[in-house]
Amino acid sequence: MLSLQTQQFGTVFTSYGAGYSPNEDASFVSANISGPATSTFYSFGYHYLYPVTTNSTLGFQADHTRYIIKGDFKGDRKGVPVEAKVTSKIKQTDFGFSLYYKLLKELRLEIGIGTSHWQIDALAKGSLSNSIKASTKASAKNKDPFLLLGLSFNMNVFPVQLRYKRGQLSATNTVDLHALDLNISLPF
């Protein structure tokens, strides 16, 4: 994560990341398939803190994140082999407000709420028994609320933030989302 911070104007930030899961599940041509998946993301945003009292601060954050998730999946349908390549693109823009409360000299609690505007576009291309080719597309978008709970503290000279976010993606099916973020800043 790269950020530019000032007391008067807040913080502008950007980040990039990647992930790998050795076993994910999907459904394609009525077959249950599984396999490894990779993901990359980048985000940018703005965060502003407004001191209310000596022990509490209000925060506003707006950020936009884009994810690309790709996987190669295999399985079978009634004994017939099925293979598919799946690509999902996710756009998510969050707006949130938080209350930060100082519990101890170096420990702050964050409680927040917000809304997430999201869009998912997925494409799966594959084959059934290496002879029948198939593809399917899926798209959904909506906006849903989320809750935040976090802790901030310093570990020696390194600021640390641990944050849990709970929300949903509400479309034809509702999917619960749970995110746990750990940020350790390296001061220069």
Per the DSSP assignment, residues forming a β-bridge with 73 are: 84
- Alpha-carbon gap, residue 121 to 139, rounded angstroms: 4
DSSP codes, 30-72 = TEEEEEEEEEEEEEEEEEEEEE-SSSEEEEEEEEEEEEEEEEE
**Residues whose CB is less than 8 angstroms from the CB of residue 121 and which lie 6 or more positions away in sequence, other chains included:** 88, 89, 137, 138, 139
Q: How many Å apart are CA 17 and CA 2, to the nearest integer?
A: 12
**pLDDT per residue as tens digits for the range 128-179:** 887 889 898 989 999 999 999 999 999 888 889 999 999 988 877 788 888 8
For residue 188, give the 3-state DSSP assignment.
Answer: coil
Question: What gap in Å lies between CA 2 and CA 14, rounded to an integer?
Answer: 5
Amino acid in the structure at residue 69: I
Q: What is the pLDDT of residues 43-102, one digit of tens each?
A: 999 999 999 999 999 999 999 999 999 999 999 888 889 999 999 999 999 999 999 999
Give the pLDDT confidence score for residue 3 in this predicted structure. 61
Report yes or no: 137 and 115 within 8 Å, Cβ to Cβ: no
d(CA 51, CA 39): 37
User: What pLDDT, on a 0 to 100 scale, did the predictor assign at position 168?
Assistant: 87
pTM over 0.85: no
